[in-house]
Amino acid sequence: MDVGPGSAHDRASAGEDAEDLLVFVDRLAAAAHEEPATAAARARIGEVVRAGSTPPGLRRLAEALAASVAEVPPAPRRPADDPASVVQAMRGTALVVLDEAGPSEVATAVSALVADGRRVVVTAETDAELDSVRMGVTSGRTVDALPDLPQAELRELRRLLATSTAAARARSGQDLPAPDALPGVDEVRRLCDQAVQASPPDDAGTVVPALLARVEPERREAVTSIARCVTAKLDALGPRRQSPWEWELLGHLIHTRHRGTFDRVQEDVAQAATIVHTRRNAPPVTFHGELSGDAVDLLCNYYEFLESGGRTRNYFRPTVQRDVQPVLRRIRVADREPVTAPDVLRVLDHLELGERMGRIVAGCSEMGVPAPRGPGDLAALAERLVLVANAARSVGALRHDVLFLGADSPLSVPDVDSAARVSAAILDYAEHGSAAEAAQRLDLMADRLAARGAVVAPEQRLAVDALRGRDADAYEEAVDALGAARRELRDEVRRTSLLRRLRATAPALAAAWDELHERDGGAYGLACFTRSDVLLGALPAPDSADVVVVVGAAQLGVERLLLTAVAPRMIAVVAPDEQPEGSPSLLSVLQRAAALVIRGRTTDTPGRVVHLNPAVRAAGNVSAVGQAGA
């Protein structure tokens, strides 16, 4: 047939134009003179190509023919390049001619390919030729037609069979818990840490958790909030060694000692500090002589008189002005007599500050608090007294709430140290709970997990044991193992389902594949025997076979090259003493495509390459392995 430079096939072989490839198919099919099987094959190949998928075997044949038109001699072969068997040849070669091979040799080659996991389609023109080969195939993986199962599912079944293990098959019937049915790893780790933690040595560490566990959540949250407040207020006071008087005063206040004095001193300190802050830039006040006992009242009346619009006069002075005049003569505000309302108010503030300072010093002495050395110390003292007051209120609230946590509550807060311990215990319980509760929750988780499923998986038992043993790391490993077991079970269920479907159409093949997992997990091949006209009349779907073996190829025309659409690789078998037909024929095209020729070698037995030219074959001077036409 005409395949040369610039031809339509040359472009199609490069994958440039699908329509040109269809022209190549039409030329192959034209030699059959409208044979129904060939016409059906041509139509089916046209549908596949137009759908965007080129049969690999047909494409490789076209590529090999396109390369032949370059008239470049093939690269010389070296002994290391020679395949040791047909199986090895099929791993790197698309077109092979098996020369001088009888039915037994062909059967041996087919059995080896099947044992290698290949899907082999053996075809011939007559049933007798097929039967002569089939009788010699030792594998039980033979069928009369390719399995009626989508190729994607058949590939999945072969993968599942190859990866199936005895442990996976033993999972049949196991009811593994779903991921969301397992306790969370983080939660289990927290509970394990809590269950093994040592309780505080004091009574609060043991009494508080048991007491809080009996109260309702709302009440427990209220007590926890107070404990947080107590801890914050005590922390605000600072270490006891830095401010011993504050902690001592706090101890008195929670037992209501010095309560009245404390309230008065705190009020005086706050007011005095306000006066100092407000008048920090005011002019100084000095006194020349001792004031009378009613001086403050007279100054207040005079200030009100001035604020209400009264005026000072030198003659006919008002009574208020006349009465306060002796007092004003003894007072100076920045070296002047206070006759204006601001100056009088400044004097009154100064007098009030002095009076409050006296009460503050007396109160501090009564409570054992260091007295301020001057107005400049009032702000710091006011701040510390506020901290003490806040802490006293918080501790008081805690004492009240803890006392009424339960009717038989054995817990009390007699002093500040007890308040600190009880607060810490309450907060520790709120954050971590109690060891007993954590252990109880872990045991409950273990019981629920152990009760799941009639058939418990080993990984599930490991998870249960880890929960009972408070071992978070072992539980995490068990959860991961359960995930792997779940995938194994899913694959096993899928394998069983697909194998059942295969058994419905090919029971012998399904049984043979099912037995292979114990001895050869990678040999899930098959051999399908069908006549050429039947095969061409109903070409299998793409990726249905790996190798097509054409028996009696010496007598076939070029139209039978459409069988390359069945599988990516082709083996053309020439029987002993069988003379090839003249050109053009299937063998002559394979010769032009530089197909590898193997003579008398089907397994590891050494063989030799023969040429398709009868004259060359008669010469007998051939190498061990070569290329057709080399």
Please write the tens of the pLDDT for every residue from 99-123.
989 999 999 999 999 988 899 999 9
pLDDT in tens, 377-416: 888 888 999 998 998 888 888 877 776 665 555 556 667 8
Q: E strand or H helix at 140, and its extent?
A: none
In 3-state terms, what secondary structure has residue 573?
strand
227 and 285, same domain (yes or no): yes
Does 613 have pLDDT greater than 70? no
- Per the structure block, which two tokens stand in for 107? 């059967």
Distance between CA 252 and CA 416 in Å, rounded?
10
Indicate the pLDDT class of residue 75, thresholds 50, 70 and 90: low
Q: What is the DSSP letter of 318?
A: -
Does 521 have pLDDT greater than 60? no
Distance between CA 166 and CA 170 in Å, rounded?
6
In 3-state terms, what secondary structure has residue 287?
strand
271 and 376, same domain (yes or no): yes
Distance between CA 90 and CA 109 in Å, rounded?
11
Peptide bond into 209 cis (omega under 30): no
Residues 440, 442, 448: CA angle, nearest 5 degrees: 105
Does 574 have pLDDT greater than 90? yes
Does 226 have pLDDT greater than 60? yes
Instruction: Give pLDDT, residue 563.
Output: 93
- Per the structure block, which two tokens stand in for 33? 């003179």
| Highest mean pLDDT out of 33-37, 49-53, 456-460, 543-547 | 543-547
List the beta strands (DSSP E) in 449-607: 526-531, 547-550, 569-574, 596-599
517 and 611, same domain (yes or no): yes
249 and 358, same domain (yes or no): yes
Q: E strand or H helix at 95, and its extent?
A: strand 95-99
62 and 83, same domain (yes or no): no
Indicate the pLDDT class of residue 621, thresholds 50, 70 and 90: very low
What type of residue is 620? G
pLDDT in tens, 431-487: 766 677 777 788 888 888 888 766 778 888 899 999 888 899 999 999 999 889 889
397 and 334, same domain (yes or no): yes
* Overall average pLDDT of the 269-281 stretch: 88
How much helix, strand and coil, in percent to the nearest 5, is found in the chain?
60, 5, 35
Q: Decide: 65 and 3 in contact? Cβ < 8 Å.
A: yes
Q: Decide: 367 and 258 in contact? Cβ < 8 Å.
A: yes
87 and 159, same domain (yes or no): yes
Q: Which residues contact 502 (CB under 8 A, 6 or more apart)?
A: 147, 149, 154, 157, 509, 510, 513
97 and 25, same domain (yes or no): no
| H helices, E strands: number in the chain | 26, 10
* Overall average pLDDT of the 39-59 stretch: 88
Asked if residue 45 belongs to a domain, the reply is yes
Percent of the chain whose predicted confidence (pLDDT) is above 70: 81
Q: Decide: 113 and 121 in contact? Cβ < 8 Å.
A: no
Q: Decide: 18 and 48 in contact? Cβ < 8 Å.
A: no
Instruction: Give pLDDT, residue 516.
Output: 80
Instruction: Give pLDDT, residue 527.
Output: 93
Distance between CA 86 and CA 572 in Å, rounded?
12
515 and 604, same domain (yes or no): yes
Does 421 have pLDDT greater than 90? no
Instruction: Give pLDDT, residue 17.
Output: 58
Distance between CA 97 and CA 111 in Å, rounded?
17
Domain boundary at 22, 42, 68, which?
68
Q: E strand or H helix at 626, and its extent?
A: strand 626-627
By residue range, what is the domain housing residue 387? 214-289+330-428
Does 1 have pLDDT greater than 50? no
Measure the CA dihedral 473/477/478/483, to 10°: 140
Asked if residue 302 belongs to a domain, the reply is no
Asked if residue 122 belongs to a domain, the reply is yes
What type of residue is 253? L
* Overall average pLDDT of the 206-234 stretch: 77
Does 32 have pLDDT greater than 70? yes
Asked if residue 520 belongs to a domain, the reply is yes
Distance between CA 527 and CA 114 in Å, rounded?
7
Indicate the pLDDT class of residue 29, thresholds 50, 70 and 90: confident
- Per the structure block, which two tokens stand in for 434? 């109690």
Distance between CA 530 and CA 570 in Å, rounded?
15
- Burial pattern 444-465, b for ≥16 Cβ within 10 A else e, equals ebbeebbeeeeebbebbebbbe
Asked if residue 442 belongs to a domain, the reply is no
* Overall average pLDDT of the 267-272 stretch: 90
Asked if residue 315 belongs to a domain, the reply is no
Asked if residue 448 belongs to a domain, the reply is no
The three-state (H, E, C) secondary structure of 597-610, written as one string: EEECCCCCCCCECC
Q: How many domains does the chain have?
A: 3
Lowest mean pLDDT among 278-282, 490-494, 592-596: 278-282
109 and 84, same domain (yes or no): yes
Asked if residue 435 belongs to a domain, the reply is no
- The overall average pLDDT reported for the chain is 81
350 and 247, same domain (yes or no): yes
Distance between CA 254 and CA 418 in Å, rounded?
12
Predicted TM-score (pTM) of this structure: 0.58
Domain boundary at 391, 412, 428, which?
428
Indicate the pLDDT class of residue 15, thresholds 50, 70 and 90: very low
CATH number assigned to the domain comprising residue 158: 3.40.50.300
Instruction: Give pLDDT, residue 305.
Output: 86
Domain boundary at 364, 395, 428, which?
428
Indicate the pLDDT class of residue 206, thresholds 50, 70 and 90: low
More confident residue, 530 or 53: 530
Instruction: Give pLDDT, residue 329.
Output: 85
More confident residue, 500 or 21: 500
pLDDT in tens, 167-176: 888 887 788 8
pLDDT in tens, 576-588: 877 776 778 899 9
In 3-state terms, what secondary structure has residue 251?
helix
510 and 409, same domain (yes or no): no
Does 564 have pLDDT greater than 50? yes
CA 459 to chain CA mean position, Å: 21
